[in-house]
Amino acid sequence: MKKRLLSLLTLTAGVVLLAACGVQTEDQASNGNSAASTSETTAKNTIELLGTSSNETDMNIVRDQLIKNGFDVKLNTQPDYASFQTQKEAGNYDLAISSWTTVTGNPDYAVRSLFITDGDNSSMSNSEVDALIDEAALQTADEYTQTYKELEDVLVTENAYIAPLYTSLKAQAFNSELLKPDSIRLSKSRAFAWENVQFNDTALNDTESLLLTQTMGDLTSLDPIKGNDGSINQLNTNMYVRLVNLTDDDKVVSDGSLSYNHAIADGNSDYYFILRDDINFAAVEDGQAVDTGKMVSGQDAIFSLNRAKNPNSVPDHRTYSLHEHIDSASLVTDLAELENAQLSDGSGSVKEALEAGLEAPIAAVVEDAEQVDNASGNYQVIKMTTTEPFPQVLNYLAHQSAGIVSQEQVESINTYDIENFDITTDIPYGDQRTVTKGETYDNHLYASGPYIMIQKDDYAATFQKNPAYMAGTENEAQIANVTVRFIGDADSALSALRSGEIHLLYGLDETKYDVVEGEDSLTLQSMPSNGVTYMLFNTNGRDVSDSADLRKSILYSINQDEISSAYDGLKLKAYSTVSPLVDTGNELVADPAKVEEFYQNYLDSAN
C-alpha cells in the first residue's frame, strides 16, 4: 500500500490554481495579460546563465523564456557546486541560479547575509537596502511586514538585483520498513536531526548504521563558524549543541539544547540561559568516539559566542554577520540579578522563568565549571546582551554556526598567526584534511552534539554517537552509527534509496514524488519550505552590472506560472528570499511589454 505523510502541507486550491496558470485563456492571449503578449519582440543581448547540472530544468526553462523575449542565452552548466563557485568568483556569468533556505526561521536571516553591504554572501552594495534590513531587524512581526515590502521594492522592483523563480516544498523520503516513521522529523528550517531516528527493530540501533546522503562531499569546514552551505549544515548541526533550538515549525525552544530554559528580560536586550550539566565533549581515539570527561560549560559557550560575532576570530569567517548583534556574553554570578530582572512580557522574574520545570530550583549560580551540580541546584547561567533590542537574535543562536565548541581544544589547534594564515601550511580547527583518510588524517574534533565524525573519504563520512550527550534522556542519540554518503546526482540518490543503499533521502525534487509513492517500502514527507530559488545578477564587469533597466527587462521575462507547471504545480511563487516568511503582497508577473520598455530604456541610456 502506498504511504505518504504530509507535515503541515495541504495542497489548497491556491496551489492547484498555480499549476493551472501555465494554461492561457483566449482572452489572456488576446489582451496581453500573460507571457503571450502582443508586444513586438526585439533582438537583445546575449545573457550568460550560470548553474549546475542539478539546476538543468530551471536553466532550460529560463533560457526558453529569455529567448522568447528576444534575448540570446549562453548556458554555463557546471557539474558540481565547487565548479559553480569557481565560475562565479571568476565573474563568468550574467545570471547565476542561486538558492537560499532560511534555516533559522526568521526573516532577517533571509536577507542580511545575502544583500547587506559586506554581508557574508553579498556581492552588492545599496545604502537604502542596508537601512531597510537594519530597520526591519529591530521590529516585531506585526511591524516589519511593511518594512520588508519596502525592502523588496528596492531590491527587486526598482533595481532588480535578483530575479525570483520560486519557493520550494521541502521533502524527504525514507524506508519505513526499516525506520520508525514517528522517529523521523521533517523541520521547516533546521537541518535533519539524527538523534531521534530509530530502526523499527530497536535491536539494530546499536549494530546497524543509519545510511543517509548529501550532495556535497567537499566540506567547507567542520568549525561551525567557517561554513554556511549544503556541505556542512546537516553535519555541523548534528555535531555541535546550541543554546536554543528550533521546533519543526520554527519556534525557538530550549528543548534538546544546552539550556534547560531561556528568558528575555524587559527591554529585549538581555537574554538569559540556564545550562545543563549532562553533556560532555566527545573526541575520537583509535577510530572510536570517546567521552573526554570535559563538560560543555558556560565558558565554552561564551567563547563560542565571542568568536562567532568577531569577523577576525578566524580566517575566512563566513557567518559573523549572523551574530553581529551580540554585544557581550558573561556568566551571571549574583542570584539577585535573576530575581530582580523582569521578563519582557511582564509575566514574572527571569529567575522564575529559568526555574520552570527544573528538578532542583536554583540555589546558586556558579562561575567555576567544577562547582556545577544541577541536582543540588548549582547552575551556570549565561547573560547575553545585544547591541540593541533584537529578539530575532534567538533564531540565530539556533543556527549551526552558533554551535558550542571547546575553548581548550580550539585554542590548542588554532595556534597560527591569523594575519599571516597560509592554508597550505596551517591546519585550522575543523579542516576536513584532518578527518580525511590518508596521510593527513589526525582527527582533532571535539563534538558537543549528539554525534562526532570519525572519518571521511571521497564517498562517505562516518559518525558515532557522543557517549556523553544527555545519556538516559529522550535527547540521547538512539542509533549508534551514521554514514553519510556523498551522491552528487539527485537521480542516483533516489535510486540508492529505492535499492536500499541508503535509508533516508533528505531533499527530494517535486517531480520525483510519484516515484516514491509508487514504492511500498517508502514513505514521503513534505511541507512548504523556507527555500527560495532565484537568479543573482553579476554586479561587476557586465552590462547587467551597470543597468537596472537591462536587469528589469530580464526580470519581467520570467514567468513563474510556467515554472510551477513544469513541476506539476508544486513550486510556489516568490518575490524575494523573504517570501516564505513574510507576506508582503508583492508578486512577479511576466510582462513582455515591460521587457521591451525597459530594454529600450537601456538602449537609450547607452547611446
Tens of pLDDT, residue by residue over 182-222, are 999 999 888 999 999 999 999 999 999 999 999 999 999 99
- Let me know whether 584 and 463 are in one domain: no
Q: Has residue 55 got a pLDDT over 80? A: yes
The pLDDT of 507-523, averaged and rounded, is 93
With respect to residue 387, please indicate whether it lies within any of the assigned structural domains.
yes
Q: Has residue 8 got a pLDDT over 80? A: no
With respect to residue 522, please indicate whether it lies within any of the assigned structural domains.
no
Q: Are 76 and 47 in contact (CB under 8 A)?
A: no
With respect to residue 497, please indicate whether it lies within any of the assigned structural domains.
no
**How far apart are the C-alpha atoms of 365 and 379, rounded to whole Å?**
5
pLDDT at 38: 45
pLDDT at 139: 85
Number of domains observed in the structure of the chain: 2
CA distances to 53, 278, 506 from 345, in Å: 50, 30, 38
pLDDT at 35: 40
The pLDDT of 391-409, averaged and rounded, is 95
Which domain does 212 fall in, by range? 179-490
With respect to residue 403, please indicate whether it lies within any of the assigned structural domains.
yes
- Let me know whether 85 and 195 are in one domain: no
Strand partners, 484: 212, 461
The pLDDT of 500-528, averaged and rounded, is 94
**Domain end call among 431, 465, 490:** 490
Q: How is residue 71 annotated by DSSP? A: -
Tell me the three state secondary structure of residue 177: coil
Q: Which grid coordinates belong to 346?
A: 511582564
- Let me know whether 443 and 310 are in one domain: yes
Better pLDDT: 5 or 489? 489
Q: Has residue 476 got a pLDDT over 90? A: yes
- Let me know whether 184 and 87 are in one domain: no
Our CA angle for 296, 299, 300, nearest 5°, is 50
The pLDDT of 291-313, averaged and rounded, is 97
* Closest-CA residue to 214 (of 509, 530, 567, 504): 504
With respect to residue 521, please indicate whether it lies within any of the assigned structural domains.
no
Q: Has residue 2 got a pLDDT over 90? A: no
- Let me know whether 162 and 225 are in one domain: no
- Let me know whether 322 and 451 are in one domain: yes
Lowest mean pLDDT among 87-91, 169-173, 319-323, 552-556: 319-323
- Amino acid identity of residue 112, one-letter, is R
CATH number of the domain to which 18 belongs: 3.10.105
- Let me know whether 147 and 238 are in one domain: no
The pLDDT of 85-103, averaged and rounded, is 94
- Using a CB cutoff of 8 Å and minimum separation of 24, what contacts does 218-223 make? 218/82, 218/432, 219/432, 219/456, 219/461, 220/318, 221/316, 221/428, 221/430, 221/431, 221/432, 222/430, 222/431, 222/432, 222/435, 222/445, 222/453, 223/314, 223/405, 223/410, 223/428, 223/429, 223/430, 223/431
Q: Has residue 229 got a pLDDT over 90? A: no
With respect to residue 42, please indicate whether it lies within any of the assigned structural domains.
yes
**Domain end call among 469, 490, 511:** 490
- Let me know whether 377 and 437 are in one domain: yes
With respect to residue 226, please indicate whether it lies within any of the assigned structural domains.
yes
**How far apart are the C-alpha atoms of 401 and 393, rounded to whole Å?**
13
What integer best gives the mean pLDDT of the chain? Answer: 91
Lowest mean pLDDT among 21-30, 73-82, 562-571: 21-30
- Let me know whether 389 and 289 are in one domain: yes
* Closest-CA residue to 452 (of 148, 206, 239): 239
% of the chain at pLDDT higher than 70? 94
Q: Has residue 388 got a pLDDT over 50? A: yes
**Domain end call among 470, 490, 510:** 490
With respect to residue 596, please indicate whether it lies within any of the assigned structural domains.
yes
Q: Has residue 39 got a pLDDT over 70? A: no
- Let me know whether 78 and 193 are in one domain: no
pTM passes above 0.75: yes
- Let me know whether 75 and 209 are in one domain: no
- Let me know whether 249 and 326 are in one domain: yes
Give me the residue label for grid cell 584532518.
Answer: 434
* Closest-CA residue to 194 (of 473, 482, 453, 471): 482
pLDDT at 9: 37
CATH number of the domain to which 424 belongs: 3.40.190.10
Lowest mean pLDDT among 16-25, 96-105, 387-396, 530-539: 16-25
